[in-house]
Amino acid sequence: MTDAATRYSPEAPPEPAATVFVRPDHGPAAFAALDLGTNNCRLLVAAPTTTGFRVVDSFSRIVRLGEGLAHTGRLADSAMDRAAAALSACADKLGRRPIRRLEAVATEACRRAANGSAFLARITAESGLRLRIISAREEAELAMESCAPLLEPGDRRALLFDIGGGSTEIAWIRVPPGACPGTPPELIGYLSLPLGVVTLAERAGQSCFTEHGFFEVVDEVATHLAEFDRVHCIAQEIRAGGVRLMGTSGTVTTLAGVAMALPRYRRPLVDGTTLDCTAADLALGDLFALGREGLAQHPCVGPERVEFVLPGCAVYAAIRRVWPTPRLTVADRGLREGMLTRMMRADRAPARRRSGPAR
């Protein structure tokens, strides 16, 4: 796939945000990562620490930017207005504290929409925020960057999936043998399916709440995954051992919350946990059995996500069918954490180059 914009690198950083977001009079500067997806608008502001970073502010709002996109090929006026209001709230947050560097990206909805670039130009004019459209490959790389700390000694490979609003990203990852701690893994294959929880919910409608409709989605997704498997022999690698299955997205964190019988969702308990896949499969069955009203009342779902949970579960079920593994590592992290990690690493690099090698 051709990149829709210049890929991130320390040597060619994305265009900085407007100077209105730099406020040197409010304490030490932080880093900010903004992700405008098909369903959500999310902001994470963090300060670096010796072991990673500490979150100092955040924002998340369901905006349904991709509503109707699959049918029209364009972002709807009402969807753009919702996203613009959320991004304006993000700009207000950013204006209240010093920001050393801001990375703001848009993903599948803006990649696919004929008016995606025009919408982002409107956002720049209205709020000063400059968002760049990233490729599916960079989306997979950023998810890999954020989840790499969850790999453990003995892992040869990792299969990471991210079930988003407009697409599902699959990353096939190689862990370099004998690598020093902190050495990033290698992305050796990726797949971007234009099948996410929003696109599937719009297309399947009520059918995902029926067994027949649910398994129609599972069959469709599994067909695409099987083609990817034939190229990379992933199932064969799983049988050989040393392959970690990792999932990041609202679908997999919801499954974890249900499997762990949490009275309400708590990120610290979920992020980084490894589930027995049998427990996750049982949680899927429990969610399906709840029906619409039960899902709306469930503390790990809620009314705003009712339409999206079962389509996401169908994608997860397809992944399990094609790549059966005994365990699943759950990550409540993704693009924003990956962007923050990259920005902070790039910010430290010049200081190391200036100091030169130890004598």
Do 316 and 194 belong to one domain? yes
Do 164 and 302 belong to one domain? yes
CA 269 to the chain's CA centroid: 19
Do 249 and 303 belong to one domain? yes
If you average pLDDT over residues 216-220, what whole number do you get?
96
Comparison of pLDDT for 198 and 178, the residue scoring more? 198
- How many domains, in total, are found in the chain? 2
If you average pLDDT over residues 171-183, what whole number do you get?
82
Q: Where residue 124 sits, what CATH number does that domain have?
A: 3.30.420.40
Flag whether 303 is in a domain.
yes
Flag whether 8 is in a domain.
no
Do 168 and 103 belong to one domain? no
Do 222 and 326 belong to one domain? yes
Distance between CA 247 and CA 150 in Å, rounded? 11
Flag whether 355 is in a domain.
no
- Residue-wise pLDDT for 250-279, tens only, equals 999 999 999 999 999 999 999 999 999 999
Report angle CA 218, 220, 222 to the nearest 5 degrees. Answer: 65
Identify the domain containing residue 265 by its residue range.
147-335
Do 129 and 213 belong to one domain? no
**Residue 43, exposed/middle/buried by CB under 10 A (0-12, 13-18, 19+)?**
buried
Whether 194 contacts 112, CB under 8 Å: yes
- Residue-wise pLDDT for 307-352, tens only, equals 999 999 999 999 999 999 999 999 999 999 999 999 998 988 765 5
Do 91 and 206 belong to one domain? no
Do 227 and 206 belong to one domain? yes
Q: Where residue 172 sits, what CATH number does that domain have?
A: 3.30.420.150
Is a pLDDT exceeding 80 seen at residue 4?
no
